Structure 1
């Protein structure tokens, strides 16, 4: 018989409510992520996407409800330690990186969820950092300084940093922001390469653009005004009707091959 730990969700959000003054940022959100699933979060600006991520990472305490991440419950666990077991890629981390730091050191800093290193890079940590860069096909960036990296290369380095501790959960907060069309497609191919690995973590991709949704994504969470508009399999939920409700505009979703696109937008 499998142990209970094997069947536990990686992320379990129940009745999550966040209220600030007289406004609800999130209202009674239910959401469960299990091993092997790759989720997309869609929603307009102000729908609650960023607040939900902050709550998961322990930076925005809930007003009501429960959050359980990797079997640990918010309020009864040390979230500072838990963050070391969650991979996060976001613009807020990118802005903290130092221009003079080589990519290898930035990646190695992920072992302690730190920006930069204290002291010398140990041989064992260097080996782990190189292996992590290899996961995103970016070992060639190891000795390049942050200041000379392109936006696409920086995103690869940040994903390698997030992966170095082999987290069960990887959160990608608008990772294609700032990338030109060619760089975006190359980056998405690297994400597909990662997602196809048997050892890949469960991914949560936050985006505004359905063109960025990978074929490997299995589930969709659509938020509107802090509430769940849809939560479930992506094949059933990524429809013209769902997106029209989510964004309060008439949208027509098309699928060509294994990629989605929008047509006939009417506001």
Structure 2
């Protein structure tokens, strides 16, 4: 659907794009990722035909964009810009109706007008902005304007859709809903979507493929797991990151590490299992902490991760409940740790002993991605233990793990030791 062949673009004497070559198949959702200034917006504008490349060529639907009239190009490509500022004082419905301009002519009859109205109403319904129809576009919020401009693009009914940071002005709820809709447009409507997305984890979860841009060049291309490799990210963003699978969605998940010395003082014990702590183990280990984990059953993917990282792990037989010996080993590591991390693990009768052992911790960090009630299979005892640990410690999301552990370790160093007491 979209072919980009050796495209170079200079602006103000600076080479913004340099020999970019890639293709996007019909019905594919491709994300453009990369640092600020990488050329993502410039590439979108070149695909749309707003910018003429200094060399190379862009084709949409088999025809060079440069050979298409403005109306012809708009019938093939619809755009949702990053800048949602609109200075004119039109009602929202009129703004969405502007998406039908490429199809209008002086000779259009009432049947055409009725079809236009139907498409406008359908686009507003799909983006959930019908209730804003009569309001001025200057009187709605930035997030609402973003959805109005998406509705305008849908009303345009073009087979290709370009989005420049479509979630930039939205809260997390509307970010997800917007990308779910875009994913649906590709899957069900067959639209070809190219979107510049700054959030790597959202891009990995929703896109079929990614293009990693840096320095005006495509540094990596393919599925999210291949593109978001740690060496690619370090080269493009000049930062260290840990890449793992998200424990809930299974999609590629990137955690940026702070620019601090790799080695730091502090011992951390991690309680989890069932694939819930692999990412946490990578992050804590890469951050320089001495990490232990357990108890984990043989065959657990978290145990495989721990062994690959050379971590101290308390183990139990496959499918066996945590026995007394393993529980005592966990308690010992918890007592010796400066901080204990309780992951977003499912708790049943077999691993309830891990929660009991965590009560020995002086500093607790509880990583919560799902309400505990959704993963509690051990009844009121487990609920009471979890509540106690949550009240004593910090409850954080996975992205706040490092800062919370740092605080917990620092607090542990300030407490008097048992010998001093």
TM-score range, shorter chain: 0.7 to 0.9
Q: How many residues align?
A: 247
Q: Distance in 1 between matches of 2:197 and 2:178?
A: 17
SS in 2 for 1:40: strand
Q: Of 137, 151, 156, which residue of structure 1 is paired with 2:147?
A: 156
CA RMSD of aligned residues (A): 2.5
CA deviations over 1:104-160 (Å, ceiling 9, x no partner): 11111111169xxxxxx9444222211111222332222222133222221111111
Aligned to 1:171: 162
Higher relative contact order (CA 8 A, sep 6+): 1
Q: Distance between the aligned counterparts of 2:67 and 2:157, measured in 1?
A: 24
**What is the CA-CA distance between 1:22 and the residue it aligns to?**
5.5
Structure 1: gaps (5+ residues):
1-9, 115-120
Q: Give runs of aligned pairs for residues 181-196 of structure 1, distance below 5 A.
A: 183-196=171-184
Please say if residues 103 and 144 of structure 1, whose CA atoms lie closer than 8 Å, have aligned partners that are also in contact.
Answer: yes
1:227 positional shift: 0.9
Runs of 4+ with >6 A deviation: none
**Which has a greater percent of strand?**
1
2:95 matched to 1:106?
yes
- Number of the residue aligned with 1:64: 55
State whether residues 78 and 158 of structure 2, in contact with CA within 8 Å, keep that contact through their aligned partners in structure 1: yes
2:235 alignment partner in structure 1: 245
Q: Contact (CA 8 Å) 1:251, 1:266: kept in 2 or not?
A: no
TM-score (norm 1): 0.82
The counterpart of 1:86, out of the listed 56, 59, 77, is: 77
In structure 2, how many angstroms separate the alpha carbons of the residues matched to 1:125 and 1:74? 25
Structure 2: distance between partners of 1:88 and 1:245: 30
Tell whether 2:255 aligns with 1:262. Answer: yes
Q: Secondary structure at the match of 1:45?
A: coil
How far off is 1:215 after superposition? 2.6
Higher alpha-carbon Rg: 2
Q: CA deviation at 1:40?
A: 0.9
Deviations 1:212-232 (A, max 9, x none): 326331101011111110111
Mind listing any 5+ residue stretches in structure 2 that lack a counterpart?
Answer: 104-111, 261-421
CA distance in structure 2 between the partners assigned to 1:227 and 1:35 by the alignment: 23
Query: Does residue 215 of structure 2 align to residue 215 of structure 1?
Result: no
More helix by share: 2
Distance 2:76 2:86 in 1: 20
SS in 1 for 2:152: helix
**1:37 aligns to 2:28 (yes or no):** yes
Aligned with 1:242: secondary structure?
helix
Number of the residue aligned with 1:127: 118
